[in-house]
Chain A
Amino acid sequence: MHFLTKLVRLLKQQHEQSKEADGNNRSGEGKQGEKVSTQVLSPELKDNLDAVRARFGESSDLIIREFSFGKEKDGRKKAALVFLDGMVNLSTINDDIIEPLMRQSWLSRRGETSDLSGMDEIRDRLLTVGEVKTVYTYNKVIQACLSGDAVLMTEGSCKALDIGAKGWEKRAVSEPTSETAIRGPREGFTENLRTNTTMIRRKIKDPALKIRATVIGKRTHTQVNILYMDGITDPELVCEVERRLKRIDTDMVLASGYLEEYIEDSPYTAFPTIWCSEKPDAVAGKLLEGRVAIAVDGSPFVMTVPMLFVENFQNAEDYITRSYYATMMRILRLVAFFISLFAPAVYIALTTFHQELIPTTLLFTIAASAEGVPFPAVVEVGIMMVIFEILREAGIRMPRPVGQTISIVGALVMGEAAVQAGIVGAPVVIVVAITAVSSFAIPFITDAIALLRWFLVIMAATLGSFGITIGALIILMHLSSLRSFGSRYLAPVAPFQTADLKDTVVRAPLWAMRTRPKEIKPQDVKRENIPSPNDPSVGSGDKQGGNP
């Protein structure tokens, strides 16, 4: 009997020990890393270059251009320019770095070379480049090269110059493919971080738009920028975003989706709690509502937090079309959400449990199509849903011309043939088709719905309408428990906030939306300088203008 308690104690001890060991290892790694990064440059140019070569190994894109400069009488000084081929703008290298050093260095009046003044002299008088920093360690040198800068090192100096010469092949700004606009701006983000932040900066020409930079990923060293509006955005929200980003311990960040998984509030939920967009105007709108944007180098999607559930139904185009039409579209999207979530489940529940709820004549039609179909309704719906998901996946992954063929084969041939062959009934095809089309009306939560739809189908097939009710309640409970960076997900509906309902189901006219959403706690709630047309002062001015 006692041996059991002993065993447990032993297990516990082991567990704690292993935890401690884990901790030690991690901190040890950190210290080692620091040691390397603090290794300072040596005054010997050759040592420095060897060290750089050693770090890069035999990478063929590393270019080390060795040359000498300075007046002959003072003794020409040896120097080397280190950069990675393809990452730099060659005209900057040639015309603004090498050219002034080699041709114009004789202009320098004082050739004396106490090493500090020499480097500063080059930076202050010779280099015609906008961005130059002085670096002291190997790690900084390596980093500078990797991020597309050129590094200038000279003989006898234990400093190096990190010269901004970034320039690589990048995709031009083009129309986003995931969100097309009819009347809105057509430009979309690219994979280049600076282009993206510039596009936002050009929308919001205000020094209050702050861009904080950080680097994430032990191997990828991906540039990540945090954008927010000073004076509008809750400072605590900015701190929280920075805190969460700092906590990330990963070796790679290849796109914004990689970060999303690390900083989400609820990692297990099917619903997105971080919003993202390809459109600078949409992101600018979110920033001005008091949200924080996170732009990741290499991703044409900029994320914004906090995200509310209603954002799934909003569209940048809503704010450009007339508010009546936008409201109608909002309602339609809501209807589409319910159809795409519930339609197959309701069909199964009605046809296998509650036939009395189907109008008599409709029942005949459904019953007629069920004649001779060998499977129960669940299996029929299941088959069609699987086929639809496969078609969707195939259509997305295949090259565009092939994708079209797939959709023709899928939609026309398979749908029609399956019905004629008597494998599935025609109503099932219609239900799954309506479901599919509806789910495309709300692109942002299509994935979440595709998962939950299966859950509801299973519930409906086992418990009928009770199952659907239970399933819907579970989903609702889950949704109301979600949070995104301190904001309650279902706001402004679930904590009911009357003032913010104007941008939910109804899209109020822009002049009526005079406050920012309160749920994201903006510092400055009022959107000022938006006078209402009903404002008496403005109204009288108009009249005067209209009737002279």
Chain B
Amino acid sequence: MKKQAVKTGGRVLRALSVSFSQKCRKGARRAGVFLLCILLILCLCSCWSQRELNTLAIVLGTTLDVGDQPDTLTLTAQVVKASELGSGTTTKGNSSGGKAYVNVSYTDNSVLAAVRELTRMQNRRLYFAHNEVLIFSGELAKKDIAEGLDVFMRDYETRMNVNLLISKGKASEILDENVELEKIPAIHISRLMGNQKSNSETVVVTLRDFAIATLSGSSAPVAPMVELYESDGKKYAKLEGTAVFKKGKMIGELNKEQTRGILWVTNKAQSGEKTVDTPWGQVTLEVLHSSSDLKPVKGEDGTIRMKLTIDVEGAIQGNETTENMSIPENVAMLKGKMKNDVRSDVEGALVQARTLSADVFGFGEAIHREYPEEWEKMKGNWDQEFPKIGMDVQINAELSSEGGLVKPVTPGGAQ
């Protein structure tokens, strides 16, 4: 009985649909079905990830400090006040000429807990996708950097290309620095990092670079250090040196010459300026282009040494002397000076790395690539092995140009 009913019902439906399709044109019916599909799609989904711009607190910089309670950390987020930043007629009324940012901070057990707690004080959701700098305080870095790193790498919203820095002193104070050309300290620091190519004295490290170095196991991750200095009673931030990490903890620092040494070895030195002393006075050289090649070589006794070849091309930028620096003898002398300068940078860095027993150059990776079998034997006690690895440095210097002047401005001496 029931089956019969179902059958008949089906027949009725089919008959109705047939008569419907006969009445309507095929296209109209198809369009109807299509619209129905669209409506169904719209019902099935919702706008759950929709958020209007004026409900977001755009975070541009984040710092992590050691909290005052044991096992806590302080998160400080620099939130942009868009109404102060905007240009044109829209904000003429509300721009009060005040700071274009607000720093909000909270101390809690973990980063996420602090972010959640902040929602009790802020009417807007902290939005980290545009976070440009992440600064750990040196104190926290010496204790443990892993927790902060993990959150910023795991979350979808945060980006891996955020600049990572270590502060000397309290990190949150960096975000309170005075800014002159920019309106927001975080932007100032992030642009500052972009400007470091021309001096080759700072390592530029993103969260991603740092994570790769951490994961390699043998290399020691490095990060640039930032500190505050006072001028006319105002505090400004500047970059100074490099922090060296091992096993998630900061173990030491490199000064700026040693930092340049790392950059020479890792083929990251782009340009920079070198002032050399000559018997007649100072000459300023500029590095136009450089490239380096690091290769492990197995000696006859089976020990592995690193072979580093650096090609440097420079130009005379300034001549304070009265000598003509374009004559071959002087050019050869300047080349020699430049070579020595580079060599002392590299060796200084090597000595410091050996004392810290931190493989900041990536020797381990290079040996792993070239001699995997030997690496298997070495990697167990790499900390002890690393300081023993010798390095031969070969530097080829070239002075390609003396600029627009051939002779010195003040004539005299050997012409």
* Cβ–Cβ contact A15 & B19, under 8 A: yes
Residue of A nearest to B88 (CB): A426
Identify the 3 closest CB pairs spanning chains A and B, nearest first: A368-B86, A356-B129, A367-B82
Q: Does A5 contact B (CB under 8 A)?
A: yes
Of A40-48, A162-170, A273-281, A369-377, the stretch lying at the interface with chain B is A369-377
Query: B76 → chain A, closest Cβ, in Å?
Result: 19
For the complex, give the distance between the alpha carbons of A463 and B22 in Å.
36
A265 vs chain B, min Cβ distance (A): 11
A-B contact pairs, 6 of them (CB 8 A): A8-B16, A352-B53, A364-B82, A371-B90, A461-B50, A464-B49
The reply to whether the CB of A355 lies closer than 8 angstroms to some CB of chain B is yes
Which residue from chain B places its CB closest to the CB of A350 in the assembled complex? B53
B225 at the A interface (CB under 8 A): no
Q: Which one of B12, B60, B90 has the greatest number of beta carbons of chain A within 10 Å?
A: B90
Known: A268-B27, A268-B28, A462-B42. A365 touches B49 (CB 8 A): no
Asked if residues B19 and A12 are in contact (CB atoms below 8 Å), the reply is yes
One of B12, B27, B45, B56 near A462 (C-beta < 8 A): B45
| CB of A473 to closest CB in B, whole Å | 13
B54 to A367, Cβ gap below 8 A? yes
Known A1-B4, A368-B82, A462-B45; judge A355-B129 contact (CB<8 A). yes
- Residues in A whose Cβ lies below 8 Å from that of B12: 4-5, 8
**Known contacts A367-B82, A462-B45; A372/B94 CB under 8 A:** yes
A12 CB to nearest chain B CB (Å)? 7
- Whether A356 pairs with B19 at a CB distance below 8 angstroms is no
**Chain A residues, CB < 8 A from B88:** 426
Contact residues in A for B89 (Cβ distance below 8 Å):
419-420, 426
Asked whether A363 is an interface residue with its Cβ less than 8 Å from the other chain, the reply is yes
Complex interface bits, A453-470 against B, C-beta within 8 A gives 1, otherwise 0: 000000001111000000
B49 proximity list for chain A (CB < 8 A)? 353, 464
Residue-wise, chain B 1-44 has the 8 Å CB interface mask toward A (1 for contact) of 00011001001100110010011000110010000000000100
Nearest A-chain residue to B186, judged by Cβ: A360
Of chain B, the residue at the smallest CB distance from A427 is: B90
Main secondary structure of the interface of A (DSSP, over half): helix
**Alpha-carbon distance A464/B89, docked complex (angstroms):** 29
B8 near A4: Cβ-Cβ < 8 Å: yes
Tell me whether B132 is interfacial, beta carbon within 8 Å.
Answer: yes
Q: Which of B15, B90, B187 contacts A12 (CB 8 A)?
A: B15
B127 at the A/B interface (Cβ < 8 Å)? yes
- Considering the chains assembled together, what is the distance between the CA atoms of A372 and B92 in angstroms? 13
Inter-subunit contact B86/A371 (CB<8 Å): yes
Confirm or deny: B293 has a beta carbon within 8 angstroms of a beta carbon on chain A.
no
Taking CB as reference atom, which chain A residue is nearest B156?
A356
B180 at interface, CB cutoff 8 A: no
CB of B87 within 8 A of chain A? yes
**A376 with B15, Cβ < 8 A, contacts A1-B5, A364-B86, A368-B90 known:** no
Contact partner, A371, options B45, B54, B60, Cβ 8 Å: B54
Asked if B157 is at the interface (CB within 8 A of a chain A CB), the reply is yes
Count of A-B contacts with CB under 8 A? 110
A334 in the interface (beta carbon within 8 A): no
Q: Does B400 contact A (CB under 8 A)?
A: no
A367 with B58, Cβ < 8 A, contacts A5-B8, A11-B15, A15-B22 known? yes
- The distance from the CB of B34 to the nearest CB of chain A, in whole angstroms, is 9
Identify B27's interface contact among A4, A267, A370, CB under 8 A: A267
Decide if A425 is an interface residue (CB 8 Å cutoff): yes
Contacts of B255 in A (CB 8 A): none
A366 within 8 A of B: yes
Q: Report which of B19, B45, B51 forms a contact with A463, defined as CB distance below 8 A.
A: B45
Q: Quick one: given A268-B31, A360-B130, A464-B49, are A8 and B11 in contact (CB under 8 Å)?
A: yes
Q: Is the CB of A373 within 8 A of B15?
A: no
Q: Which residue of A lies closest to B9 (CB)?
A: A4
Query: Known contacts A365-B87, A419-B90, A426-B88; can you find 17 more A-B pairs with CB under 8 A?
Result: A5-B8, A8-B16, A11-B19, A267-B27, A268-B28, A351-B53, A355-B127, A356-B129, A364-B82, A367-B58, A367-B80, A368-B83, A371-B82, A372-B54, A420-B89, A426-B90, A463-B45
Within 8 A of B (CB), among A1-52: 1, 4-5, 8, 11-12, 15
Find chain B residues with CB under 8 A from A11 CB: 15, 19
A5, A356, A364, A461 interface centre (most CB from chain B within 10 Å): A364
Q: Point out the residues of chain A lying under 8 angstroms from B83, CB to CB.
A: 368, 371-372
Taken together as a complex, chains A and B put the C-alpha atoms of A366 and B56 apart, in Å, by: 12
* A372 contact set on B, CB distance < 8 A: 54, 83, 94
Report the separation of the CA atoms of residues A343 and B227 in the bound assembly, to the nearest whole angstrom: 44
Q: A1-B4, A12-B19, A377-B52 are in contact. Are A461 and B47 (CB under 8 A)?
A: yes
Residues of B with C-beta under 8 A to A365: 85-87
Q: Which residues of B are found within 8 Å of A373, using beta-carbon distances?
A: 54
B239 CB, min distance to chain A CBs, angstroms? 21
Q: How far is the CA of A135 from the CA of B58 in the complex (A)?
A: 86
Query: In whole angstroms, what is the CA distance A268 to B25 when docked?
Result: 11
CB–CB B22/A352 < 8 A: no
Give chain B nearest CB distance to A291 CB in angstroms. 25
Q: Is the CB of B15 within 8 A of A8?
A: yes
C-alpha spacing A360/B60, complex, angstroms:
9
A12 and B14 CA atoms in complex are apart in Å by 12
* A366 to B85 Cα, complex, angstroms: 10
Most buried by B among A371, A420, A425, A462: A371
Minimum CB–CB distance from B14 to chain A (whole Å) comes to 9
Q: Which residues 421-448 of A have a CB within 8 angstroms of B?
A: 425-426
A416 nearest CB across to chain B (Å)? 8
Q: Which of chain A's residues has its CB closest to B80's CB?
A: A364
**A27 to nearest B CB, angstroms?**
20
* A4-B8, A268-B31, A462-B42 known; A368 vs B22 contact (CB < 8 Å): no
A residues 333-359 near B (Cβ < 8 Å) are 351-353, 355-356
Given A368-B86, A371-B94, do A352 and B80 touch, yes or no (CB 8 Å)? Answer: no
Q: What is the bound-complex CA distance between A271 and B141, given in angstroms?
A: 63
A8-B15, A360-B130, A463-B45 known; A368+B8 contact, CB < 8 A: no
Residue B91 at the A interface, CB < 8 A?
yes
Chain A neighbourhood of B19, CB < 8 A: 11-12, 15
Residue of A nearest to B31 (CB): A268
- The reply to whether A355 and B11 contact each other, CB–CB distance below 8 Å, is no
Residues on A with beta carbons closer than 8 Å to the beta carbon of B86: 364-365, 367-369, 371
A363 to B127 CA separation, bound complex (whole angstroms): 12
Q: Contact between B50 and A464 (Cβ–Cβ < 8 Å)?
A: yes
Known: A364-B85, A463-B45. A370 touches B54 (CB 8 A): yes
Q: Mark A398-420, 1 if CB is under 8 A from B, else 0.
A: 00000000000000000000011
Do A462 and B31 contact each other (CB < 8 Å), given the known contacts A355-B53, A369-B86? Answer: no
With a CB–CB cut-off of 8 A, which chain B residues contact A425? 90
CB of B310, distance to nearest CB on chain A (Å):
37
Q: Which residue in chain A gives the minimum CB-CB distance to B30?
A: A268
Cα-based distance from A356 to B159 in the complex (angstroms): 9
Contact yes or no, A5 B11, CB < 8 A:
yes
CB distance from B2 to the nearest CB of A (A): 11
Query: From residue B327, how far is it (CB to closest CB) to chain A in Å?
Result: 50
A267 to B51 Cα, complex, angstroms = 39
* B42 vs chain A, min Cβ distance (A): 6
